[in-house]
């Protein structure tokens, strides 16, 4: 019954976990960047895998602590022996009654060595490293989701520009047809306006397709299905970056999770080296065992009959001795021999003794031991392990140095890209505004007949290029900021 309850409890605990993995989350149709990051942390498979790795590291620490505790085991057995003597070297052994038996045992064992302490330190360092790995995966996830979120907004903004140009092309086509109807424009102008409209429609179709694909890729990173008619609602302001490379490098030294994970792994490598040195030290071990047995003859009168036979033998032996004593002229012991008899109390005691099975045990002698062991020679395995551990410790230090150099290069380049992106966006803003003014002037001049359709289309092409470049510069700036945050390892805004 207890096993059944434990099984039901296990299924109850496992059930919610399985449903959490399989269930489809509710996604709002108006999605902010913060909500997208929250969904990614909850459902992104890669991030969940990193959390599982941290759980395994935590169990390894608990296992390392368990090395300081004794191991315990127990055993219980039941036996049956046929009531038939066994012949050994011509002598019969064993009872003529079937025999039931049971036994129990409990044992404890403990050992302690220098490796126990080193393994605990190594497990703790690995757990800290695993936590830093989770933080690194989380930071990479936040950076990736932020950049993809911005890319979706960028593609949607470019698609909106194409839609606005289609509207403008439609108006220009209607104007060209009207002017051709009154003789102030040629059929060539109408054909050119139609070509411009068709070209704009194709560009709009491709722009919307790119935005849809980018949206699908965003939800792939989130780890959830994309709902219909979802809109990204976060707004981003462009402000001049005020940080310095030196301050960013200091932040990365303190906060970058990848660097912290490498430092923890260096501690684990040092613990491994100490453990290899501990192989030259002795180990202490101790053990203790307890137990008991019980048995029962299926013939309930077997022990009584055995007792009667023994008493009868003792009585006969006593009378024989009495005859010898009287024959030798010594005082007889007839009265003492006559008093030897098998009583009902003895019979009942033997019957009670036969009723100990299966749970009334007779204790066995307990065993205690304490020892010390020291390996003298193991074929140079200790020396090899020590050298490997020393090389691993050196490798860990070089990995830290390599990551520090990489951080310096990545942060410096990301900062340069960010500052250049800010200046480029301000210039593109000016260019887009000038192109917008030029397009409005060209549209007005074409309407009153002072410009040709070719001039108008050129102004529209210039505006499309300038506005698209402005949109690209805007979101490239924000993506550069997200990349800088990813390199530093912490938010900067």
Query: Based on the domain organization, do 341 and 368 belong to the same domain?
Result: no
pLDDT interval class at 470 (50, 70, 90) = very high
Q: What's the CATH code of the domain at 449?
A: 1.20.1600.10
pLDDT in tens, 117-157: 888 888 898 889 888 889 889 988 999 999 999 999 999 99
- Domain-ending residue, one of 373, 405, 423: 373
- Asked if 224 and 39 touch (Cβ cutoff 8 Å), the reply is yes
Query: Based on the domain organization, do 104 and 220 belong to the same domain?
Result: no
CA distances from 461 to 48, 429, 432, 448, 465 (A): 47, 17, 12, 21, 6
Segment 391-415 mean pLDDT: 94
Which pLDDT does position 363 carry in this prediction? 87
Query: Based on the domain organization, do 476 and 396 belong to the same domain?
Result: yes
Q: Which range scores top for mean pLDDT: 83-92, 187-196, 224-233, 328-337?
A: 224-233
| Domain-embedded: residue 164 | yes
Which pLDDT does position 67 carry in this prediction? 85
- The CA distance from 412 to 417, in Å, is 9
Ranking 130-144, 183-197, 209-223, 410-424 by mean pLDDT, the lowest is 183-197
| Domain-embedded: residue 65 | no
Query: Based on the domain organization, do 484 and 399 belong to the same domain?
Result: yes
Q: Which of 262, 12, 226 is nearest to 128 (CA)?
A: 262
| Length of the chain counted residue by residue | 493
Q: Which range scores top for mean pLDDT: 14-18, 89-93, 161-165?
A: 161-165
Query: Based on the domain organization, do 146 and 291 belong to the same domain?
Result: no
- Asked if 492 and 243 touch (Cβ cutoff 8 Å), the reply is yes
Which pLDDT does position 18 carry in this prediction? 42
| Domain-embedded: residue 394 | yes
Query: Based on the domain organization, do 389 and 254 belong to the same domain?
Result: yes
| Domain-embedded: residue 61 | no
Q: Who contacts 127 (Cβ-Cβ below 8 Å, separation ≥6)?
A: 54, 57, 58, 60, 61
| Domain-embedded: residue 268 | no
Whether the pLDDT of residue 55 is over 80: the answer is yes
Tokens read off for 15 = 């059930």
pLDDT interval class at 24 (50, 70, 90) = low
Tokens read off for 81 = 């022996």
Q: What is residue 109's three-state secondary structure?
A: strand
Return the number of other C-beta atoms located less than 10 Å from residue 6's C-beta: 10
Segment 320-347 mean pLDDT: 85
Query: Based on the domain organization, do 342 and 448 belong to the same domain?
Result: no
Query: Based on the domain organization, do 339 and 479 belong to the same domain?
Result: no
Number of domains in the chain: 3
Pick left, alpha or beta for residue 360 (phi over 0 → left; psi -120 to 50 → alpha; otherwise beta). beta
Whether the pLDDT of residue 3 is over 70: the answer is no
> Where in the sequence is the domain holding 369, given as residue range(s)?
75-109+283-298+358-373
| Domain-embedded: residue 122 | no
| Domain-embedded: residue 119 | no
Q: Where are the beta strands (DSSP E) in 279-335?
A: 283-297
Q: What is residue 371's three-state secondary structure?
A: strand
Whether the pLDDT of residue 427 is over 70: the answer is yes
Query: Largest Cα–Cα distance in the chain?
Result: 172
Query: Based on the domain organization, do 291 and 315 belong to the same domain?
Result: no
Please give the backbone phi and psi of residue 110, each rounded to the nearest 5 degrees, phi first. -145, 145
Note every long-range contact of 387-396, with CB atoms under 8 Å and residues 24 or more positions apart, other chains counting: 388/276, 389/269, 389/272, 389/273, 389/275, 389/276, 390/273, 390/276, 392/269, 392/272, 392/273, 393/266, 393/269, 393/270, 393/272, 393/273, 395/269, 396/262, 396/265, 396/266, 396/268, 396/269, 396/270
Q: Who contacts 172 (Cβ-Cβ below 8 Å, separation ≥6)?
A: 193, 196, 443, 446, 453, 456
Q: Which of 148, 153, 142 is nearest to 474 (CA)?
A: 153
Q: Which of 256, 244, 243 is nearest to 407 (CA)?
A: 256
The DSSP-derived string for 198-233 is HHHHHHHHHHHHHHHHHHHHHHHHHTSPPPTT-EE-
CA distances from 84 to 3, 81, 93, 94, 357 (A): 39, 8, 9, 7, 20
Please give the backbone phi and psi of residue 374, each rounded to the nearest 5 degrees, phi first. -145, 120
Query: Based on the domain organization, do 307 and 417 belong to the same domain?
Result: no
pLDDT interval class at 92 (50, 70, 90) = low
Query: Based on the domain organization, do 138 and 199 belong to the same domain?
Result: yes
Query: Based on the domain organization, do 292 and 222 belong to the same domain?
Result: no
| Domain-embedded: residue 180 | yes
- Asked if 241 and 477 touch (Cβ cutoff 8 Å), the reply is no
pLDDT interval class at 361 (50, 70, 90) = confident
Tokens read off for 363 = 């204790």
- CB neighbour burial string for 380-397, b if at least 16 within 10 angstroms, e if fewer: eebeebbeebbebbeebe
- The CA distance from 313 to 318, in Å, is 8
């Amino acid at each position: 019954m207890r096993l059944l309850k434990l099984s039901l409890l296990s299924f109850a605990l496992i059930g919610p976990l399985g449903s959490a993995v399989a269930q489809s989350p509710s996604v709002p149709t108006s999605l902010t960047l913060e909500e997208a990051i929250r969904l990614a942390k909850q459902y992104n498979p890669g991030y969940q895998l990193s959390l599982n790795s941290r759980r395994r590291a935590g169990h390894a620490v608990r296992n390392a602590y368990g090395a300081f505790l004794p191991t315990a085991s127990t055993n219980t057995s039941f036996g049956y022996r046929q009531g038939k003597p066994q012949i050994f070297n011509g002598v019969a052994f064993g009872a003529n009654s079937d025999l039931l038996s049971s036994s129990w045992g409990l044992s404890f064992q403990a050992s302690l060595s220098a490796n126990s302490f080193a393994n605990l330190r190594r497990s703790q360092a690995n757990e800290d490293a695993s936590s830093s790995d989770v933080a690194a995966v989380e930071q990479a996830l936040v950076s990736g989701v932020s950049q993809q979120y911005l890319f979706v907004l960028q593609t949607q903004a470019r698609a909106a520009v194409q839609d606005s140009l289609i509207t403008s092309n439609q108006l220009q086509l209607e104007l060209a047809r009207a002017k051709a109807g009154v003789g102030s424009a040629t059929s060539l102008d109408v054909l050119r306006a139609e070509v411009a409209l068709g070209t704009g429609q194709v560009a709009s179709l491709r722009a919307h397709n790119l935005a849809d694909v980018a949206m699908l890729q965003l939800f792939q990173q989130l780890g959830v299905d994309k709902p219909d008619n979802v809109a990204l609602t976060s707004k981003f302001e462009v402000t001049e970056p005020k940080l310095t490379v030196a301050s960013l490098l200091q932040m990365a030294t303190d906060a970058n999770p990848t660097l912290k994970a490498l430092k923890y792994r260096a501690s684990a490598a040092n613990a491994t080296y100490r453990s290899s040195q501990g192989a030259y030290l002795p180990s202490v071990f101790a053990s203790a065992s307890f137990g008991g047995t019980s048995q029962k003859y299926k013939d309930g009168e077997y022990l009584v009959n055995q007792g009667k036979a023994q008493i009868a033998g003792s009585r006969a032996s006593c009378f024989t001795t009495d005859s010898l004593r009287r024959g030798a002229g010594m005082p007889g012991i007839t009265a003492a021999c006559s008093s030897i008899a098998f009583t009902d109390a003895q019979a009942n005691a033997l019957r009670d003794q036969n009723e100990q099975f299966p749970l009334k045990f007779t204790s066995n002698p307990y065993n205690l031991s304490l020892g010390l062991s020291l390996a003298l020679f193991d074929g140079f395995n200790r020396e090899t392990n020590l050298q490997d551990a020393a090389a691993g410790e050196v490798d860990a230090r070089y990995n830290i140095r390599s990551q520090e150099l990489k951080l310096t290069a990545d942060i410096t380049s990301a900062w340069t890209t960010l500052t250049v992106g800010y200046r480029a966006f301000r210039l593109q803003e000016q260019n887009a505004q000038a192109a917008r003014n030029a397009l409005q002037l060209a549209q007005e001049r074409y309407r009153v007949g002072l410009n040709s359709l070719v001039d108008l289309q050129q102004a529209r092409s210039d505006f499309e290029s300038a506005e698209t470049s402005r949109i690209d510069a805007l979101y490239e700036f924000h993506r550069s900021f997200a990349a800088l945050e990813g390199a530093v390892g912490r938010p900067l805004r």
